[in-house]
Amino acid sequence: MRFLSEKLPGVAVLGIPLLWISVFMLLPYAIIATYSFWTKQYPTFSPDFQFGNYLTLFTDPQYSKVLIRTLKVSLLVSLFSFLLGYPFAYFLAFRCKSQALRTWLYMAVIAPLWVSYLLRAYVWKTILGTEGVLNSFLMSIGILSEPSDMFLYNQFAMVVTLTYIFIPFMVMPIYTALEKIPRNLVEASADLGLRPIPTFLRITLPLSIPGVAAGFTMTFCLTFGDFVAPFLVGGPDGNLVANVIVTQFGTALNWPMGSALSILVLVIVLTVLSLSGRVERHYSPKEV
Amino acid sequence: MASIIELDRLSKHYSSSIVAVDNVTFAVEDGEFVTLLGPSGCGKSTLLRMIGGFEDPTDGAIWLAGKNVTWDPPHRRDVNMVFQDYALFPHMTVGENIGYGLKLKKLNRTEIGTSVQGALSLVGLEDKIDQHPYQLSGGQRQRIALARAIVRRPKVLLLDEPLSALDAKLRGQMQLELKHLHEKVGISFIMVTHDQTEALVMSDRVVVMDSGRVAQEGSPNLLYDNPNSPYVANFIGTTNFLDAQIARVDGDRTRISVAGVEIEAVGETHRRAGDAITVGFRPEKVRILKDGETGDNEIPGEIAEVVYYGLGLRLSVAVQGGGRVYVDSLLPDRLADSQVPPVGHPVRMALSSGNIFLFDEGVA
């Protein structure tokens, strides 16, 4: 009895999350991993242990094409989020003198996260579509004479939409990293004779790398697993890995193949995570 | 010796009502060690930051070696700063930190290496060249910050409360080390501090600041022995203040009635009989008279408190008129061997005329 009352809090604190993770994360992964070695015998699958599914992933151009496309889109989304998000975060952290303005601008980044994801993706349909805002605008200023369908249903639309949706995940960690840089390091660099741009390149940028790495990781991984934006704005050749996985588990009724694909995505994401973790650790300033 | 830096009616207003620095004019000689001393909020740090180029003045000019640098950004000024918390670059080694400002000076690799080594040996940390700042102790970081600033051979070295982050013992040691370093490198130092001991120990000249203005400037010795205001007398060392009245002026001798007696101060005065003044004197300049002994300017009183602080005794003596006077005396030997007067005991104090300060204004 006494043993129980003493150990109970500890068991509960560690046990409940552990149980949760086991049942809702590790177990499903284990099942998926098992499935990935099975063989498909339409319309069912039979237990097996073979690498055929994985082999197909790399040999069948249908899959490798989607994988490469997903990789490309993910990298582009991360890159554009970085190119747009870094200057914004820099302005917030270093240049914005008014506390009120800073709060408002930061909220402007965060607030969209409270809006339904689906809605935010759908918004771009109305902007980029033939009847959309962009077309009306271009026609009103005379660049287009009739509505164009070139903006929607392609990879461009997908990258724009996903960049819009995931950019907060780039801005937040970069802003946090920049905010942490003591202002007197920048002053010290100027004091030692460096102009603003060399100072930025040698002090501010290297010290904000952990934030950049975190931002890249999040936008990359989130895009890599996304299937709504491709579905809404991606068009006929806009399928990403997640869409293929959905198909494999759905209409194609090929769970083993879907599982193999899922495991591959997991491996890729984990690799990116561990790489960025390494980068973050390497560039993190040790406490002074 | 020529002036290396001249501040000409320099002012900094944050708004019409908030004035950080108000019309400050002074010059620093080549090779001089000047300290800006004052309580926090007196404008000394703002003044230093303006010299460094980190704040723009509202009015006035800064001349560095005969050149007007008032509007030059920090990277164009031939001055270097040691920041309060050192501002060492955490992602660089000690060697990279020190060499940071040298790459622009058109030196080649070997020359930079030699300079860095030289700076490190100047502060006695040659073996730390490949370490990172986080691997160093507070005192070592302080020295690296110094080395990084002086390796560029600036015309003036600015130090913003350089020792405030160190513990008391190390601070005392670094005071002397910094002073020796100053003698060795021969660069002008301008240091900001709120610690009067630090100012007295290290500087050739101290500029005492009060609410953005210069209250008094001069050698430590001058400021201690001839403060021009109760503010300075109070900020540097301890001073007893008593309300008094001029009784009679007789050439360079002034008779003053204070605490029920009349005492005499020396020095020309513009004051006249009947003027209300404040009298000041240092606790250690007062002597307690033994029975039967007589002295100059005797003031009677009664022991109110005795405080033992190791080095000596501080007596608090109540005098007529409600004033309190501190008297410091070093103990000749062990406490037990000396005759400490008990509380409530009447005493007579003696004070030589040369040690009395006269102020028109009261203590703020």
| A60 CB-near residues (< 8 Å, 6+ apart) | none
The residue-averaged pLDDT of A240-267 equals 90
Give the model's pLDDT for residue B81. Answer: 94
Chain A residues within an 8 Å CB radius of B100 = 189, 192, 194, 202
Rounded to the nearest angstrom, the minimum Cα separation between A180 and chain B is: 12
Say if residue B6's pLDDT is above 60. yes
Q: For the domain that residue A83 is a member of, what is the CATH number?
A: 1.10.3720.10
Task: Kindly state the DSSP code that residue A44 receives in the 8-state scheme.
Answer: E
Give the model's pLDDT for residue B179. Answer: 92
The residue-averaged pLDDT of A253-259 equals 89
Give the model's pLDDT for residue B334. Answer: 59
Per the structure, the complete domain to which residue A189 belongs is given by 52-283
The residue-averaged pLDDT of A124-138 equals 85
Contact A283 B53 (CB under 8 A): no
Return the percentage of chain A with pLDDT > 90, whole number: 52
| Each residue's pLDDT tens digit, B70-124 | 999 999 999 999 999 899 999 999 999 999 988 777 778 888 899 999 999 988 8
| B314 CB-near residues (< 8 Å, 6+ apart) | B283, B306, B307, B326, B327, B328
Residue A270 covered by a domain: yes
Chain B residues within an 8 Å CB radius of A189 = 89, 100
Co-location of B56 and B180 in the same domain: yes
Cα separation, B343 vs B301, in Å, equals 11
Residue A62 covered by a domain: yes
Q: What ipTM was reported for this prediction?
A: 0.84
| Each residue's pLDDT tens digit, B244-258 | 999 988 888 889 998
Co-location of B118 and B179 in the same domain: yes
Domains: count for chain B: 2
Contact B53 A190 (CB under 8 A): yes
| Each residue's pLDDT tens digit, B315-325 | 999 998 888 99
pLDDT band for position A146 (cuts 50, 70, 90) = confident
Give the model's pLDDT for residue B2. Answer: 75
Residue A30 covered by a domain: no
For A286, the closest of B54, B134, B152 (CB atoms) is: B134
B74 at A interface, C-beta within 8 A: yes
Contact B74 A191 (CB under 8 A): yes
The residue-averaged pLDDT of A79-104 equals 94
Return the percentage of chain A with pLDDT > 70, whole number: 97
Return the percentage of chain B with pLDDT > 90, whole number: 60
Domains: count for chain A: 1
pLDDT band for position A286 (cuts 50, 70, 90) = low
Co-location of B211 and B277 in the same domain: no
Residue of B nearest to A195 (CA): B75
Contact B87 A206 (CB under 8 A): no
Q: Give Cα B331 distance to the centre of its chain.
A: 27
Residue B364 covered by a domain: no
Co-location of B191 and B306 in the same domain: no
> How do beta strands B79-82 and B156-160 pair?
parallel
Residue of B nearest to A207 (CA): B91
Contact B132 A287 (CB under 8 A): no
Chain A residues within an 8 Å CB radius of B53 = 190-191
Q: For the domain that residue B341 is a member of, what is the CATH number?
A: 2.40.50.140
Task: Enumerate the β-bridge partners of residue B62.
Answer: B7
Least confident of B6-10, B340-344, B360-364: B360-364
Co-location of B157 and B52 in the same domain: yes
Co-location of B205 and B250 in the same domain: no
Say if residue A202's pLDDT is above 90. yes
The residue-averaged pLDDT of B333-348 equals 74
A97 at B interface, C-beta within 8 A: no
| Between residues A154 and B96, the one the model is more confident about | B96
pLDDT band for position A2 (cuts 50, 70, 90) = low
Co-location of B244 and B274 in the same domain: yes
Rounded to the nearest angstrom, the minimum Cα separation between A198 and chain B is: 11
pLDDT band for position A97 (cuts 50, 70, 90) = confident
Among the candidates B188, B214, B234, a domain finishes at B234
Co-location of B221 and B279 in the same domain: no
Co-location of B190 and B171 in the same domain: yes
The residue-averaged pLDDT of B284-312 equals 87
Co-location of B201 and B335 in the same domain: no
Residue A249 covered by a domain: yes
| Each residue's pLDDT tens digit, B177-225 | 999 999 999 999 999 999 999 999 999 999 999 999 999 999 999 999 9
Q: Which of left, alpha, beta for B263 (phi over 0: left; psi -120 to 50: alpha)? A: beta
The residue-averaged pLDDT of A47-72 equals 89
B134 at A interface, C-beta within 8 A: yes
Say if residue A285's pLDDT is above 70. no
Contact B91 A283 (CB under 8 A): yes
Cα separation, A159 vs A73, in Å, equals 6
Residue B184 covered by a domain: yes
Co-location of B264 and B319 in the same domain: yes
Residue A39 covered by a domain: no
Give the model's pLDDT for residue B93. Answer: 93
| Each residue's pLDDT tens digit, B222-236 | 999 999 999 999 999
DSSP for A262-288, please give it. HHHHHHHHHHHHHHHHHHHHHHSPPP-
Cα separation, B80 vs A188, in Å, equals 9
| B306 CB-near residues (< 8 Å, 6+ apart) | B313, B314, B315, B316, B340, B341, B343
Q: Which of left, alpha, beta for B53 (phi over 0: left; psi -120 to 50: alpha)? A: left
Cα separation, A210 vs A284, in Å, equals 6
Cα separation, B300 vs B282, in Å, equals 17
Residue B249 covered by a domain: yes
Cα torsion at A45, A48, A50, A54 (round to 10°)? 30
Matching residue, tokens 């000076």: B105
Which long-range contacts does B324-332 make (Cβ < 8 Å, 24+ apart)? B324/B240, B325/B240, B325/B242, B325/B283, B325/B286, B325/B299, B325/B301, B325/B349, B326/B238, B326/B240, B326/B283, B326/B286, B327/B283, B327/B286, B327/B287, B327/B288, B328/B283, B328/B284, B328/B286, B329/B284, B329/B287, B329/B288
pLDDT band for position B333 (cuts 50, 70, 90) = low
Residue B29 covered by a domain: yes
pLDDT band for position A1 (cuts 50, 70, 90) = low
Among the candidates B180, B213, B234, a domain finishes at B234
Say if residue A3's pLDDT is above 70. no
Kindly state the tokens that stand for A85.
């998000």
User: Comparing C-alpha atoms, which of B229, B230, B244 is closest to residue B276?
Assistant: B244
Rounded to the nearest angstrom, the minimum Cα separation between A282 and chain B is: 9
Say if residue A288's pLDDT is above 60. no
Residue A170 covered by a domain: yes
Average pLDDT value for chain B: 89
What is the maximum span of chain A, computed from C-alpha positions, in angstroms? 83
Return the percentage of chain B with pLDDT > 70, whole number: 97
Contact B101 A192 (CB under 8 A): yes
Co-location of B104 and B218 in the same domain: yes
Among the candidates B179, B210, B234, a domain finishes at B234
Residue B252 covered by a domain: yes
Per the structure, the complete domain to which residue B11 belongs is given by 3-234
Cβ atoms of B353 and B289 within 8 Å: the answer is no
